[in-house]
Chain A
């Protein structure tokens, strides 16, 4: 249902951010991408929906090749991919509801967008999702009045209301405290399962990533160096991804699985 073939990104500065990455995802699963900062995680995820233009390579979403699309076709492809951001990237001066409905911008006309005349189904769904993530009653609050965790929930709904076929998630928890981070990860996982769609999650927190992922991909210096289930992630794997370090404390052991 989703595959990336030999993706390469070379920045105008000459820096090779991605040196030929291939990934296949054939079922609804949470895929965590591990890697040190600067490894190309963020570039990888942005090359998929072409917020960053890949230099070469192919991206398939349900047999549609995305890297060759232009204009309207590209916008159509983008609305099938929901994205969740590190800094939430909400429109600070708009209300929660407007932020959620902005996820439907790819579907409505210019005038509908301008006058905020979104279809009733979208509004119904927005209310449902707001309640689902515990933000019922917040719809007329301005986004800049929310806490970090609340903002990220709005960010998640904005992505989901697109009815995406895949979620692209870029460091969703880096600005949050540990407890909120877990709640957010759980929410992403639950909702992805509920909608039966895969999610690619860039994450720097190894323990958190391992805990919620069905599959781990290790990215170092623009190359995929590991691809497998979380259980296979060992100290050696982490050393391979991040370099030398004492991983015994970071890695999740089987015995703290239930706490």
Chain B
């Protein structure tokens, strides 16, 4: 075949078409990664030294040591209690909060206040919140419950608030037209529309809270995490492994239950 008359240069169109922007991004990206690797002092020496320590760690980790079962049991129970209390409290408080955080229901200053709370509660990782509460109220499950409830409220305020913002305004209008007062409007116009979402989120919340309740003990906020942290610090890696296995089973179990229940609700 003769192809001489055809243009024969082909290059794939670049993902970013403008060459200036493309090369700026490539150069800046590469420079950043080099800088970042330098900044954290990434040296092979330490990586190599880590290997024998890792081997030693695994040797001391297996088999898991369940001999401190009473302690583990106590921690697990406390985690459960914390999760249950925090979830119950937060799903109740979530109702006024999410009404406040819904633009279509709320009045302006309540809306701004609720939103501000939601943004703050969502931005801080639970562990950071926990450590502050531990400093304020001392060790134990109480700051733990507060932590879980605080982050849970951020979560519920956002998602339930958005659910309320997305309701069908026609239904609310119809209830209002009957002469119902504000409370009755919420009860008949809003609540039925967001109820399935509310129940689903509540179960999901229990899942999240249980997960977090096994960890925040690391900073002293109650639950099984404290036992895990102590085991690590006493170099009792076999006990730590046992605790870790228990945590994994709880987390997976709760995830399974929560997804099953939520699946049935839909």
Do A and B have CB atoms closer than 8 angstroms in the complex?
A: yes
Q: Residues of A with Cβ closer than 8 Å to B?
A: 95, 97-98, 116, 120, 123-128, 131, 139-140
Question: CB-CB < 8 A to B12: which residues of A?
Answer: 95, 97-98, 116, 140
> In the complex the two chains form, is A127's CB within 8 Å of B1's CB?
no
B residues near A, CB below 8 A?
A: 1, 3, 6-10, 12-13
Closest to A97 in B: B10
Shortest CB distance B171–A (Å):
40
Verify A120–B8 contact, CB threshold 8 A: yes
Q: A125 contacts B13, CB within 8 Å? A: no
Q: Which of A97, A98, A116, A123 has the most C-beta atoms of chain B within 10 angstroms of its own C-beta?
A: A123
A140 proximity list for chain B (CB < 8 A): 12-13
A257 to B135, CA, bound (A): 93
B3 touches A127 (CB 8 A): yes
Nearest CB on B from A181, distance (A) = 27
Of all chain B residues, the one with the shortest Cβ separation from A100 is B10
Q: Please name the 7 residue pairs, one residue from A and one from B, whose CB atoms are nearest each other, closest first.
A: A124-B3, A128-B3, A127-B6, A124-B8, A123-B10, A116-B12, A140-B13
CA distance A124 to B3 in the complex (A): 7
CA distance A128 to B5 in the complex (A): 9
Residues of B within 8 A of A97 (CB): 10, 12
Could you say which residues of chain A place their CB within 8 Å of the CB of B7?
Answer: 127
Instruction: Give 15 pairs: A residue, B residue, CB < 8 Å, sorted on A.
Output: A97-B12, A116-B12, A120-B8, A123-B8, A123-B9, A123-B10, A125-B1, A125-B3, A126-B10, A127-B3, A127-B6, A127-B10, A128-B3, A131-B6, A139-B10
B205 CB, nearest partner CB in chain A, Å: 38
CA separation between A127 and B8, bound complex, in Å?
7
Chain A nearest Cβ from B3, distance in angstroms: 4
Given the complex of chains A and B, what is the CA–CA distance between A123 and B3 in angstroms?
10
How far is the CB of A112 from the nearest CB of chain B, in Å? 13
Chain B nearest Cβ from A16, distance in angstroms: 40
Closest to B11 in A: A116
Contacts of B3 in A (CB 8 A): 124-125, 127-128
From residue B14, how far is it (CB to closest CB) to chain A in Å? 11
CB distance from A48 to the nearest CB of B (A): 27
* Chain B minimum-CB-distance residue to A142: B13
Chain A residues within 8 Å of B10, by CB:
97, 123, 126-127, 139
A-B contacts besides A127-B8, A128-B3, A140-B13, 5 pairs, CB < 8 Å: A97-B12, A123-B10, A124-B6, A126-B10, A128-B6
Query: Closest residue to B6 on the A side, CB-wise?
Result: A127
From A98, A124, A140, name the one whose CB has the most chain B CB atoms within 10 angstroms: A124
Instruction: Kindly list chain A residues whose C-beta atoms are within 8 Å of the C-beta of B8.
Output: 120, 123-124, 127
- Of the listed residues B1, B6, B9, B10, the one surrounded by the most CB atoms of chain A closer than 10 A to its CB is B10
Q: Report the minimum CB–CB distance from B8 to chain A (whole Å).
A: 5
Q: Considering the chains assembled together, what is the distance between the CA atoms of A123 and B10 in angstroms? A: 7
Question: What's the nearest-Cβ distance from chain B to residue A212, in Å?
Answer: 23
Measured between C-beta atoms, what is the minimum distance from A140 to chain B in Å? Answer: 5
Quote the shortest CB–CB distance from A186 to chain B (angstroms): 19
Bound Cα distance A139, B13 (Å) = 10
Residues of A close to B13: CB separation below 8 A: 95, 140
Which B residues lie within 8 Å of A98 (CB)? 12
Question: In angstroms, how far is the closest chain A Cβ from the Cβ of B26?
Answer: 15
CB nearest to A98 among chain B residues: B12
